[in-house]
Structure 1
Amino acid sequence: MASEIVTEQQVKMKPKKKESQVVQVFRKLIKNKLAVFGLMIITLQLLMAIFAPFIVAYEPDEQILEATELPIASEGHWLGTDNYGRDMWTRLVYGARISLVVGIISVVIGLAGGITLGLLAGYYKRLDGIIMRFVDLLFAFPGILLAMLIIAMLGTSIVNVVIAISIWSIPGCARIVRGSVLSVKKQEYILAMKSLGAKDSRIIIKHILPNCAAPIIVFATMRMATTILSTSALSFLGLGAQPPSPEWGAMISAGQDYMWTSPHMTIVPGIAIMLVVFAFNVVGDGLRDALDPNMEYPE
């Protein structure tokens, strides 16, 4: 009988299985209502980009000359048409694909450069001064002006926009990573590995870089918002995507001459940019809070 009682107590006192850090972060994130709303918008944009050919009835450049400048809620064109008779919903959907592709490629390239420079500057003191002065030089230019300068030298195209925004992303990422490395490399286990003769490359890749993941993830998420907004701004100025590309900034530029007669040509892509930028920003804020171990959430 006593053994049965002990067994029951042992069962009751059995510790719960520890959740992985990813699950813990996700649980915290979904408690943030704004972040959940942002995730829904981003998911919708992803679905639009992936399944674009299946959710529209027209081609993005298809012109219906007898149906130009139709207002919102017109038959067969629920977001109306532009001055060439092109369906606004179709162009909006294909524009989501351009924004995502440019954003992802630019952020990935910028992260690759920024992480590399940040790791080297933070870990090797002799390289810190050289690398950070280069980073400060890039910071001396306002971001959008730096991108415009690069495009002016390379030429106007969406590929050059990716290159320009990638270079613009490097200094911010490098500073964040460097700060994290300076903190992590002082930890006792890093010093112990050095004393045991571990190679620098092994210490940096296997032990320091994973501990810098949290700020990098937050930076990447919020950088997506900046990238999409910057891409639209450059296209609006005629330095990015060129007509007849359905990029959202180019759509706003094309519609500005019709603001009084067909305001939906500007309002529709403008709202799309606003929602997506807002979504990435609130998700970035939510991730920052979820990755903060000192942040308390209600159960």
Structure 2
Amino acid sequence: MSAEAVLNEEIQPETKSKKEKFLVTTFKRLIKNKLAVIGLVIIALQLILAIAAPVIATHDPLKQALADSELPAFSEGHWLGTDNYGRDIWSRIVYGARISLSVGLLAVTLGLLGGVTLGLISGYYRRLDGIIMRLVDLLFAFPGILLAMLIIAILGTSLVNVAIAISIWSIPSCARIVRGSVLTVKKQEYIQAMRSLGASDFRIHVKHILPNCMAPIIVFATMRMATAILSTSALSFLGLGAQPPTPEWGAMIAQGQNFMWTSPHMTIVPGIAIMLIVFAFNVVGDGLRDALDPNMDLNQ
């Protein structure tokens, strides 16, 4: 068989049937984890809320009705009550799900793009490894939330800038994880075979190394979503993210803290929303980590 024919067959460490079997096995392991299933249900419900917000919301989340201010939960027409401006809390929670998930997804996506790229280059090209890892160590020297606050102070307060700040904070962790996987994968015989057959580095990265590093990347992305959403809420709470009257969960908590004794639902409801979505992504991430572990069968 010619070298060109071998290249066209895309040499892989596993056959297609083995990969399909691995995916099925991973899914079965995941659904056996009750906490992970609960997390998936919560995430699915939050996605439905975010996508169908205009239909599910009962009121305009920005419309003020001072005559109905600080209504308690289960009031007529406002089953989660209203805030101090008479805005419906249920509607603001629903639209807040859209904001939190969007910012979290953007932050994780940007972080993965930077982290995966640096990790691939650092793990594959040893002459660049030292330089890239020292830059990563420099980012690690700053506490994550302080680094995000510094970036926002430079860029300005907005949800887009929050996503950029959180993504920069995510890059060093992602780069370290990907680099470790690349160092292991690039020593495999099929990678050496592709090099000897004249495959370009880009082809080896995209077709062979990256697909075999996806398991830790998927786990990292899932758990990082929880961190991104929590960080977005924290920065908005501090006034560095969403600005009034944007219905963002962290900003809602900041607004409600002055009414904790008279209208505690203004703080409790968005706090529960944050808690549930962060819990969901964390337990799903834990479930994926266990399900994607190749030694899982041996540990059982």
Alignment correspondent of 1:13 = none
Identity of aligned residues (%): 77
Distance 1:219 1:24, change over 3 A: same
Alignment correspondent of 1:254 = 255
CA contact (8 A) 1:28 1:297 kept: no
CA contact (8 A) 1:110 1:167 kept: yes
- Give the match's secondary structure for 2:81: coil
Alignment correspondent of 1:26 = 27
Alignment correspondent of 1:295 = 296
- Give the match's secondary structure for 1:212: helix
Alignment correspondent of 1:7 = none
Distance 1:238 1:297, change over 3 A: farther
Structure 1 CA distance for aligned equivalents of residues 232 and 22 of structure 2 = 34
Amino acid in the other structure paired with 2:60: E
Alignment correspondent of 2:266 = 265
1:71 aligns with 2:72: yes
Which TM-score applies when normalising by structure 2? 0.92
Structure 2 CA distance for aligned equivalents of residues 266 and 113 of structure 1 = 35
- Give the match's secondary structure for 2:297: coil
Alignment correspondent of 1:235 = 236
- Give the match's secondary structure for 1:152: helix
Alignment correspondent of 1:180 = 181
Measure how far apart 1:186 and its partner are.
0.6
Deviations, residues 236-290 of structure 1 (Å, cap 9, x unaligned): 0000000001000000000000000000000000010001000000000000000
Amino acid in the other structure paired with 1:103: G
Measure how far apart 1:20 and its partner are.
3.7
Matches within 5 A, 1:189-200: 189-200=190-201
Structure 2 CA distance for aligned equivalents of residues 121 and 80 of structure 1 = 53
Distance 1:194 1:37, change over 3 A: same
Matches within 5 A, 1:115-126: 115-126=116-127
- Give the match's secondary structure for 2:78: coil
Structure 1 CA distance for aligned equivalents of residues 256 and 65 of structure 2 = 17
Measure how far apart 1:189 and its partner are.
1.2
- Give the match's secondary structure for 1:283: helix
Measure how far apart 1:98 and its partner are.
0.1
1:100 aligns with 2:101: yes
Tell me the matched-pair count: 284
CA contact (8 A) 1:114 1:170 kept: yes
Amino acid in the other structure paired with 1:235: S
- Give the match's secondary structure for 2:136: helix
Question: Alignment RMSD, CA only?
Answer: 1.7
Measure how far apart 1:204 and its partner are.
1.1
Distance 1:144 1:298, change over 3 A: closer
Distance 1:38 1:294, change over 3 A: same
Measure how far apart 1:191 and its partner are.
1.3
Structure 1 CA distance for aligned equivalents of residues 34 and 298 of structure 2 = 12
Structure 1 CA distance for aligned equivalents of residues 167 and 21 of structure 2 = 32
Alignment correspondent of 1:278 = 279
